[in-house]
Chains A and B, each alone.
Chain A
Amino acid sequence: MNIPIEYYLILSGFMFLVGVAGVLTRRNAIIVFMSIELMLNSANLSLVTFSSYMGNSTGQLFVFFVMTVAAAEAAVGLAIILAMFRNKLTLNIDDINILKW
């Protein structure tokens, strides 16, 4: 472990920023969701980095929780996206991007 801790943190910071940029610029709901997964992954990377440089398992436990929560959110999110597309099919709305922030 002779790689400085900053390298890991900068990597995670970069992923976080890419995720934020994706959420703010893309308008497809699924891509936005993928960008959010990137943000969560970068947070996990930071947590694991701190955890192993400090020799403290709590951070890794937190990552375990974040992953489980992300899975739960993914299930709900995909259900919402499906419900939305089903309605659009029946309501025949031409415009695919009704999402305006």
Chain B
Amino acid sequence: MNIYDIVFYLFAAITVLSAFFVVTTRNIVYSAYYLLFTFFGVAGIYVLLGADFIAMVQLIVYVGGILILILFGVMLTNKITSVEIKTGSVQVVPAAVGVALLAGILMASMVDTKWRSVETAMPSATTQGIGMLLIQQYAIVFELLGILLLIALIGAASMARK
């Protein structure tokens, strides 16, 4: 058991436990905070996988952007309705069937696959490679992403104004 294993199990435990609590906690605010730990744990695993750029983006976009938006949503909607922030759950039986089916498919396929374990070198910084892809082969996709963000802006503004 070397340091990589320990770090992996630590972050995996954080991710798994907090992901589990996100959907089981009855309090929305707690759920949002558990989501913070999930995002953090996933970011740690990205670092372990050698994806430094993605790990940073994960922290900036998910924790700094999306989670803050979600927390704003929680705070604003709860203030307005002044109802209790506990939430119920429904449809446990069909959900259990669906999830069990999916779990069966995924686990069967993962266990069955024979993974070729290629010994890769210690990962180097990935930012340059991603940047090159972004402005060369995937330039068109990058520009379309700009359109998508503009549309999201227009849509959100038109929906949220009074």
Q: Do chains A and B touch in the complex (CB under 8 A)?
A: yes
Chain A interface residues toward B at CB < 8 A: 1-11, 13-22, 24-28, 30-31, 33-35, 37-38, 41, 44-45, 48-49, 51-55, 57-58, 60-61, 63-65, 67-76, 78-83, 85-86, 88-89, 96-97, 101
Q: How far is the CA of A88 from the CA of B77 in the complex (A)?
A: 10
What A residues does B159 contact at CB under 8 A? 76, 79-80, 82-83
Write the B131-162 contact mask toward A (1 if CB under 8 angstroms, else 0): 00110001001000100110111011101101
Q: By the criterion CB–CB under 8 Å, are A57 and B148 in contact?
A: no
Query: B: which residues have CB within 8 A of A?
Result: 2, 4-5, 8, 12, 15-16, 19-20, 22-23, 28, 31-32, 35, 38-39, 42, 45-46, 48-51, 53-54, 57-58, 61-62, 65-66, 69-70, 72-74, 76-77, 80-81, 83, 87-92, 94-96, 98-99, 102-103, 106-107, 110-111, 115, 117-118, 120, 123, 126, 129-130, 133-134, 138, 141, 145, 148-149, 151-153, 155-157, 159-160, 162
Inter-chain contact A96/B102, CB cutoff 8 Å: no
Q: Given A28-B28, A67-B57, does the pair A11, B70 have CB atoms closer than 8 Å?
A: no
Write out the residue numbers on chain B whose beta carbons fall within 8 Å of the beta carbon of A21. 23, 95-96, 99
Known contacts A68-B61, A83-B160, A88-B81; A58 and B89 CB within 8 A of each other = no
Some 30 contacts from A to B, beta carbons below 8 A apart, are A1-B4, A1-B50, A3-B4, A6-B115, A8-B45, A9-B110, A15-B15, A17-B102, A20-B102, A26-B23, A27-B90, A30-B70, A34-B31, A37-B62, A37-B66, A37-B70, A38-B19, A51-B51, A61-B130, A61-B138, A63-B57, A67-B57, A68-B145, A68-B149, A71-B65, A72-B148, A76-B159, A78-B72, A81-B77, A83-B160
| A49–B48 alpha-carbon span in the complex (Å) | 10
Residue of B77, B87, B149 contacting most chain A CB atoms (<10 Å)? B77
Residues on the B chain within 8 Å of A4, using CB: 115, 117
Apart from the given pairs A41-B39, A70-B62, 18 other A-B contacts in the complex at a CB distance below 8 Å = A2-B5, A3-B5, A3-B8, A6-B115, A9-B110, A11-B12, A22-B22, A30-B74, A31-B22, A41-B38, A44-B58, A48-B51, A48-B54, A52-B50, A63-B57, A64-B53, A76-B152, A81-B73
Question: Which of B58, B134, B148 is A67 in contact with, Cβ under 8 Å?
Answer: B58
Are the CB atoms of A64 and B81 closer together than 8 Å?
no
